[in-house]
Amino acid sequence: MKKIFAIGIFIGVAALSCYAQEKKTNTIPSINIKKLDGSTMNSDSIRNDGKPLIISFWATWCKPCVIELNTLEENYKEWQKETGVKIVALSIDDTRTSPSVGPFINGKGWDYEVYLDPSGDFKRAMNVNLVPHTFLINGNREIVDQHTSFSPGDEELLYEKIKRVAAGQPLEK
Amino acid sequence: MIKKLPLKKSCLFIILFFLISIAKAQQGISGIHGNFQTDIQYYNADSSINAPPVPEKVLANSFLNLVYSSDKFSAGIRYESYLNALQGFDQRYKGNAFLFRYASYTADDLEVTAGNFYEQFGFGLIFRSYQEWGLGYDNAMDGIRVRYNPHSGIYLKGFIAKQRSFFDYGPGLVRGADGEFNINDIFKSLAEKKTKITVGGSFVSKFQEDNDPVYKLPENVSAFAGRLNLSRGNFSLGGEFAYKINDPNSSNNFIYKNGESLFLTAAYTKKGLGATLTVKRNDNMNFRSDRTAIVNNLILNFLPPTTKSQTYLLANIYPYATQSNGEIGGQAEVFYKFKPESKLGGKYGTNISINFSRLNSIDTIGLNNELGYESDFLKIGDNLYFQEFNLEISKKLNKDLKLILTYITQVYDIDVVQGLIGHGTVYDNIGIAEINYKFNSKHSMRVELQGLFTEQDMKSWAVLLAEYNISPHWFFAAFDEYNYGNDDKDKQIHYFSGSFGYTKGVTRVAAGYGKQKQGLLCVGGVCRQVPASNGLTLSITSSF
């Protein structure tokens, strides 16, 4: 048992040091997800022609997620005009609530591209623990920023980051 | 016999994982990532709420996922630690181990996974393997899985595996195959058609030896399911029908009747309006890889509940849980947005949502033989298990102030849903007002006032909750859940608790102190009994 633990720690450290040296950014993994019409598509098809892209993991039953997407919606038209950003709302609703995702979105009047991940494959590949979990992706499909949870006001910080990404500037740490 | 998880095998996996990560990372396709969570609780004994003393004082559940992935290859391990498991979790979660490890690659449209995996066929009526950390639910598979995409629009899957049961594996072998066909993608001539059709079919079989001295039990039990998704313009229809051959098990009292399940949902939606109608019927559909398993252990399928997922505290006192042995019912849901600048919309528009759900017993006639009973497919039984009407109005009053009003009325058969005796049926009315106020671009506040009114069970409750957020890092919350209507003066308890949290990027640390009442915690229709507790909680989540 001790041996395994030691090996585990060793790998962790080794892997992390490799990772640090590389300074490579993670990109979006290629995973099969579902469209609202029930057909399958690959996450590779989520694109925004080199402009900033936001993927927000959410669920119809998650209150802060709905508050976040409502807040982003209020700014979406303006943000699109200024930066060309596209927002994708990726629902992790399971088959209990996934049939009502389409009606829910329309009932709210949201303008997002919406996909489903009922099996959780994409959620796991993106290391999403809790929702909301929102990713900011640059024109090279690299994940440049991510955050979990949402408080009113967070959208202004997000927009600052979107503007930098749209202008091809690096994000401050 | 249940076999212990082979440690040597885990070790090999780890070494393999290590070598590959190093080799690949140097090629520049870096992709080591993962996530971590720990939930720690310090317990005080509190006889006033029936919180038992905990000898260890401190208990903790934690995990670390470490995944390497590149274009074609992916490998991962998960270390889980229960020292000891939190109260309310199955005590078979005990100790530390690498309980999840896999390697998978993709080549020529074929994806092969060796080791642990999660999977779902269609709506899940005959197969869904998944994890719900907060519930201690993890029915991961261990074996070989292939997924093949031979042609655009054709998705084939197959696996042969054992199923996880806490720190071990169950005794059964599980075999499954699934095919899904997106008709519009397969035939180029149909690609542009307005009507989109997807059909699918699946098969799952389990094998478990029959060592019963009395009964002749089927060692191989198969289940089949067919499904359809159809959409045209604003309208869509989806459904699955599943059938299981005789499967005597502890849950159905070892009867030899076949099982069947139907789930059908229709939706109409356009900008500003959404409506869904769902019907379902489950008859003897408890399906596990071990016929003697109970509660949430070794379940193979997922029967989606057709009730609203509740977010408010008091609306969760009486949560419905799927009755896999028999239930019939459905739900209707409407979402509507009154446009801004309209009579009912006001300046910013008004959102309303209405949900009605109802579930009854299936109609059965008892038989004096091994089949147990027979049931007319279309007949609704006389016993009402659950009914709910839910109306929510959400309105932005000005730039900084938003109000959400909710009215709920429920009928809830405690004995059936929670498997108890002598508690009867609860009829309640719930009213909730929620106010969201934004002071400025960083500071905001949320207040909830809730009341549950009933003459049954523990009688009436009230909740006052306040939450203060400072963007982007901090939240502070406090709530009091007060059972003011309880007949027993000693049980008119204030369950008071306070919490705060700090979030930075993907790291979140939250701590709380207070009393937690005994109850049912449900996620996605699967529930766990949470015992009463009094103490300090600390939770850390992060990913990289």
- Segment B141-176, tens digit of pLDDT: 999 999 999 999 999 999 999 999 999 999 999 999
Query: What is the residue type of A17?
Result: S
pLDDT at residue B447, rounded to an integer: 97
Q: Which of A38, A97, A147 lies nearest to residue B309, judging by beta carbons?
A: A97
User: Nearest-CA distance from B120 to chain A in Å?
Assistant: 6
Distances (CA, A) of B465 to B250, B434, B462, B518: 42, 9, 10, 19
- The answer to whether B207 and B218 have CB atoms below 8 angstroms apart is no
Distances (CA, A) of B495 to A21, A109, B7, B386, B534: 50, 38, 44, 27, 9
DSSP B181-207: EEHHHH-GGGTT-SEEEEEEEEEEEEE
pLDDT at residue B69, rounded to an integer: 83
pLDDT higher than 80, residue B14:
no
A38 CB-contact burial (10 Å; exposed 0-12 / middle 13-18 / buried 19+): buried
In whole angstroms, give the CA distance from residue B352 to residue B203. 41
CB contact under 8 A, A145 and B505: yes
- What is the ipTM score, two decimals? 0.90
pLDDT higher than 60, residue B278:
yes
pLDDT at residue B32, rounded to an integer: 84
User: Which of the four pLDDT bands, split at 50, 70 and 90, describes residue B31?
Assistant: confident
How far, rounded to the nearest angstrom, does the alpha carbon of residue B472 sit from its chain's CA centroid? 29
User: Nearest-CA distance from A118 to chain B in Å?
Assistant: 8
User: Which of the four pLDDT bands, split at 50, 70 and 90, describes residue B206?
Assistant: very high
Name the CA dihedral angle for B424, B429, B433, B434, rounded to a multiple of 10 degrees: 30
CB contact under 8 A, B25 and A19: yes
pLDDT higher than 50, residue B302:
yes
Q: Which of A46-60, B16-30, B265-279 has the lowest mean pLDDT?
A: B16-30
Preferred mutation among A129, A143, A145, A161 to probe B, highest tally of B CBs within 10 A: A129
Q: Which of A19, A100, A152 lies nearest to residue B333, judging by beta carbons?
A: A100
- The answer to whether A133 and A58 have CB atoms below 8 angstroms apart is no
Mean residue pLDDT of chain A comes to: 86
- The answer to whether A34 and A116 have CB atoms below 8 angstroms apart is yes
Computed from CA positions of residues B446, B449, B452, B458, in that sequence, does the dihedral angle turn out positive or negative? positive
- Please report residues of B whose CB lies closer than 8 A to that of A148: 503, 505-506, 508, 541, 543
In whole angstroms, give the CA distance from residue B29 to residue B123. 35
In whole angstroms, give the CA distance from residue B7 to residue B348. 60
Q: Determine if the peptide bond prior to B248 is cis (ω within 30°).
A: no
Element (H, E) at B312: none
pLDDT higher than 80, residue B273:
yes
- Please report residues of B whose CB lies closer than 8 A to that of A130: 508, 541
Element (H, E) at B446: strand B443-454
The pLDDT tens digits for B246-269 are 999 999 999 999 999 999 999 999
DSSP B450-466: EEEEESSTT--EEEEEE
CB contact under 8 A, B11 and A4: yes
Nearest CA in chain A to B400: A152
CB neighbour list of residue A160: distance below 8 Å, 6 or more residues apart: none
Q: Which two tokens stand for residue B344?
A: 């009912």
Query: Chains A and B: how many Cβ contacts under 8 Å?
Result: 230
pLDDT higher than 80, residue B11:
no
CB contact under 8 A, A127 and B130: no
Q: Which of B229, B304, B333 lies nearest to residue A103, judging by beta carbons?
A: B333
Buried b (16+ CB within 10 A) or exposed e, A46-75: bebeebbbbbbbbbbbbebbbbbbbbbbeb
- Please report residues of B whose CB lies closer than 8 A to that of A125: 67, 69, 74
Q: Which two tokens stand for residue B544?
A: 């990289």
pLDDT higher than 50, residue B28:
no
Q: Which of B335, B353, B503 lies nearest to residue A149, judging by beta carbons?
A: B503
CB contact under 8 A, B71 and A38: no
pLDDT at residue A26, rounded to an integer: 75
pLDDT at residue A22, rounded to an integer: 46
Q: Which of B66, B120, B335 lies nearest to residue A119, judging by beta carbons?
A: B120
User: Nearest-CA distance from B496 to chain A in Å?
Assistant: 22
In whole angstroms, give the CA distance from residue A82 to residue A84. 6
CB contact under 8 A, B444 and A125: no
Preferred mutation among B310, B506, B523 to probe A, highest tally of A CBs within 10 A: B506
SS3 state at B469? strand
Higher pLDDT, B525 or B533: B533
| β-pair type (A86-91, A113-116) | parallel
pLDDT at residue A2, rounded to an integer: 52
- Average pLDDT (B337-343) is 90
Q: Which of B96, B130, B442 lies nearest to residue A120, judging by beta carbons?
A: B130
Nearest CA in chain A to B470: A151
User: Which of the four pLDDT bands, split at 50, 70 and 90, describes residue A172?
Assistant: confident
- Average pLDDT (B285-311) is 94
Q: Which of A62, A96, A128 lies nearest to residue B524, judging by beta carbons?
A: A96
